Chains A and B, each alone.
Chain A
């Protein structure tokens, strides 16, 4: 089978000593930063992104992928041990995972999370390998109208799946699109909204925006909040990593269901880890024979979402790798990283850069294996890390943001921009505006405008081009469908329930 050849090629690339090393480094750094409360996968990837620029593209993206799952795993560890979610997808882990820890089964909880994630990761890697070639083939028939419609779908998906008020998320997206306009217009050479500042001629980079809004905004929110959160770290030594037979029997079907759910939901625009873990929790609770165990340490409530979370995170790479369109904020960062290396992800990536493509896929599985192996023994280290008081951490995070932004282009201006966006981030945080769609919008904005203009040129001004072409029409209908589904009362309450928990 052709796939086996490709996978073999991929493993060949991924098993090279340097790529293995970078996968390991990525997993370690990702987990390390991901364990810190308040720094979720998105902020972690954003902070560590600049470090990968010095590397060759394949190593860089392998390391980034490792950072991503490492951060997810770190977030789960914190959620289980300390009951503080690293970010949205760990919220669900807090629910039953921490309760298990409280009942003295911390080791089992961690082991469950690790094993479910590993199983999910293995299956998801296969899914990606199988889906890659057909999707890329479909992608090669994509032209500007299809790309535009796909990006519209992606943004609508991100708005719908963001927590909080839809109206606010929509406004955030439009704001992000407007930010993307700043710079030199490629078609006419005109300077747009640059205030005459030469540094803005290339536009507002996504790094200052992401690090400013997320990381700085988060630090400001933490420091200025009048509540001092008490961290009840589960302090007895975490022993007993072995699961009882009953636990394995209960957890396995949940993990498998979670994997399936996550693999599908990860493909959706706007989807990925968070949606998958919520959906899995709801499903497990609904089909469980003792639903009142949930919230008190039901192992299905941990295994399912953890598996879904990991599967979703991996399959969310698919639209990015095969079509070049990121489906969520983290993928947007990956696209940004690839573009800085001079690679534009798209349907031709699989044929132009097979080493990178298949090497990344193989490395995903390796990353999962690495995480499984290193994290359980290293739990003690992570627990110590959680004890570091915030007053020591935040200056370090602050400096890393500043240095990170600076190191991209040696641009002091961008550092200042990041500071300014810190205020925007704080405002969003205080007013309940979800910031993740902003990242997607800033990245997709310029691309969308380009495709819109080209489509209009080709169609000579006829807007029907988006509806005449079947794939484009399908994508736009899907966007409408998502909005309609959301408006249905039953789904709306489910969504609110999920966010409330």
Chain B
């Protein structure tokens, strides 16, 4: 494997950008909160101090990533990136209206599509099986009250 002559470290830069963006978001969202004074710290104190600190750290990361060569980010496939959180979010969107069983089933179907090893028939079987299993464990065995079926 040859030596990578890159001028930057992608992981530093990407994470730095993430932190800088988050810090700016924090500052923006807390802009109206009163800062208070040292003996009576206001609600705006923490968000602003933390956002500033995060901004500094993120900026240093971006700078550092631009000046030294480092490790590239390993390549990835996109499908799981969308489908895994997507499956969980789908569960959240469905569960209150369609109940736990259907939400579980849909979630497993969507999630399992992120692996090319899973064919549709398997996914359906898994969906049914897992939905049944989780309902049994959470609702029956643990007696946690949650809507199993859709409310009409």
Top 9 A-B pairs ranked by shortest CB distance?
A: A461-B39, A415-B92, A461-B38, A223-B80, A419-B88, A419-B89, A431-B15, A419-B85, A416-B92
Which residues of chain B are within 8 angstroms of A190 by Cβ–Cβ distance? 33, 43
Closest to A412 in B: B92
Inter-chain contact B92/A216, CB cutoff 8 Å: no
Give chain A residues whose Cβ lies under 8 Å from the Cβ of B19. Answer: 171, 174-175
Contact indicator A193/B47 (Cβ below 8 Å): yes
Chain A nearest CB: distance from B13 CB in Å? 9
- Whether the Cβ atoms of A167 and B74 lie closer than 8 Å is no
- Contact in complex: A395, B111 (CB < 8 Å): yes
Residues of B within 8 A of A187 (CB): 43
Cβ-based interface call for A476 (8 A): no
28 residue pairs bridging A and B, Cβ less than 8 Å apart: A51-B142, A171-B57, A174-B19, A178-B23, A187-B43, A188-B42, A193-B30, A219-B80, A219-B84, A223-B79, A224-B78, A394-B111, A396-B133, A398-B88, A398-B108, A399-B107, A402-B104, A403-B100, A406-B91, A410-B145, A412-B96, A415-B89, A419-B88, A423-B81, A427-B15, A430-B76, A456-B38, A461-B40
From residue 73 to 126 of chain B, which have CB atoms closer than 8 A to chain A? 73-81, 84-89, 91-93, 95-96, 100, 103-104, 107-108, 111-112, 114-115, 117-118, 123, 126
* B-side contacts of A459, CB under 8 Å: 39
User: Which residues of chain A in 418-473 are interfacial with respect to chain B, using CB atoms and an 8 Å cutoff?
Assistant: 418-420, 422-423, 426-428, 430-433, 449, 452-453, 456-457, 459-463
Interface residues of B in 43-80 (CB under 8 A from A): 43, 46-47, 50-51, 53-54, 57-58, 60-61, 64, 71, 73-80
The size bracket of the interface on A is: 35 or more
Interface contact A398-B33, CB-CB below 8 Å: no
Asked if A391 and B115 make an inter-chain contact with CB atoms under 8 angstroms apart, the answer reads yes
Taken together as a complex, chains A and B put the C-alpha atoms of A114 and B150 apart, in Å, by: 48
Whether A413 and B92, one on each chain, are in contact in the complex, defined by CB atoms closer than 8 angstroms, is yes
Q: Let me know if A400 is at the binding interface, CB within 8 A.
A: yes
| Contact call B114/A223, Cβ cutoff below 8 A | yes
1/0 per residue, CB under 8 A from A, across B6-41: the answer is: 000011101100110011001001100110011111
Contact (Cβ within 8 A) A181 B47: yes
B77 pairs with A452, CB closer than 8 A = no
Q: How many angstroms from the CA of A170 to the CA of B57 in the assembled complex?
A: 8
A140-189 CB contacts (< 8 Å) to partner B: 165, 167-168, 170-171, 174-175, 177-178, 181, 185, 187-188
Give the total number of A-B pairs whose CB atoms are below 8 A apart.
Answer: 218
Further pairs besides A178-B50, A223-B79, A398-B84: 8, Cβ < 8 Å: A51-B138, A171-B57, A188-B42, A224-B80, A427-B15, A456-B41, A459-B39, A461-B39
Identify the interface centre among B33, B37, B84, B114: most chain A CB within 10 Å of its CB. B84
Q: Report yes or no: A407 in contact with B144, Cβ–Cβ below 8 A.
A: yes
Which residue from chain A places its CB closest to the CB of B86 in the assembled complex?
Answer: A419
Main secondary structure of the interface of B (DSSP, over half): helix
- Check if B81 sits within 8 Å of A168, measured CB to CB: no
Chain B interface (Cβ within 8 Å of chain A)?
10-12, 14-15, 18-19, 22-23, 26, 29-30, 33-34, 37-43, 46-47, 50-51, 53-54, 57-58, 60-61, 64, 71, 73-81, 84-89, 91-93, 95-96, 100, 103-104, 107-108, 111-112, 114-115, 117-118, 123, 126-127, 130-131, 133-134, 137-138, 142-146
- Nearest to A177 among chain B residues (CB) is B50
Q: Contacts A175-B22, A427-B14: A402 and B107 contacting too (C-beta < 8 A)?
A: yes
Complex CA gap A193/B84 in Å reads 27
B39 partner residues in chain A, CB cutoff 8 A? 456-457, 459-461
Given contacts A216-B85, A398-B107, A391 and B118 within 8 Å (CB-CB): yes
| Distance in angstroms between the alpha carbons of A414 and B95 in the assembled complex | 12
* Residue in B77, B84, B93 whose CB lies within 8 Å of A412: B93
Q: In whole angstroms, how far apart are the Cα atoms of A400 and B108 in the complex?
A: 10
The verdict on A401 contacting chain B, using a C-beta distance below 8 Å, is yes
- Which residue of chain B is the closest to A51 with respect to CB atoms? B142
